[in-house]
Amino acid sequence: MGLKNDTVIINKFVPNEDVAKYNKISDLVILPYRSATQSGILNLAYGFLKPVLVTNVGGLAEFVDNGKTGYVIKPDSQEDLVNGIINFFEQRQKLNFEENIKKRVSRNAFNNLPELFEKIISDTER
């Protein structure tokens, strides 16, 4: 596809001090897991306002607003992986992934811990 000079695959452990460097230059964070529960990498990507392409395994898909904060694809499907990447590059001028990620992250339960504890306390008092 003529992307060899524009594509870098980092398939190794990335030390904490290098995480920002890789995320800042990325357009899309691709997580083609075959199995997973959740991924700290997905949350890191959102922290840098980077859209993600994840496989529908474990709990990954529940953290992605498909077509807004990234894309969810079938695991072990080269065709879906390629189509997901192409779809991202076709849509990134039309969709405001950064704004959608900001909205998604603002709904994160960790940002609402005081309200959650209030609800838990009021529910147990009933």
Q: What average pLDDT does the structure give for the chain?
A: 86
Domains of the chain listed by start with CATH number: 4-125 (3.40.50.2000)
The pair of structure tokens assigned to 109 is: 């339960």
43 pLDDT tier (thresholds 50, 70, 90):
confident
> Between β-strands 52-55 and 29-31, what pairing exists: parallel, antiparallel or unpaired?
parallel
Average pLDDT over residues 46-54: 95
Rounded to an integer, the average pLDDT of 8-16 is 84
Contact 30, 88 (CB under 8 A): no
What is the model's pLDDT at position 125? 72
Confidence of residue 16 (pLDDT cuts 50, 70, 90): confident
SS (H, E, C) the chain: CCCHHHCCCCCCCCCHHHHHHHHHHCCCEEECCCCCCCCHHHHHHHHCCCCEEEECCCCCHHHCCECCCEEEECCCCHHHHHHHHHHHHHHCCCCCHHHHHHHHHHCCHHHHHHHHHHHHHHHHHC
pTM of structure: 0.79
99-125: per-residue pLDDT in tens?
999 999 887 655 555 666 677 777 777
Structure tokens at 4: 């060899």
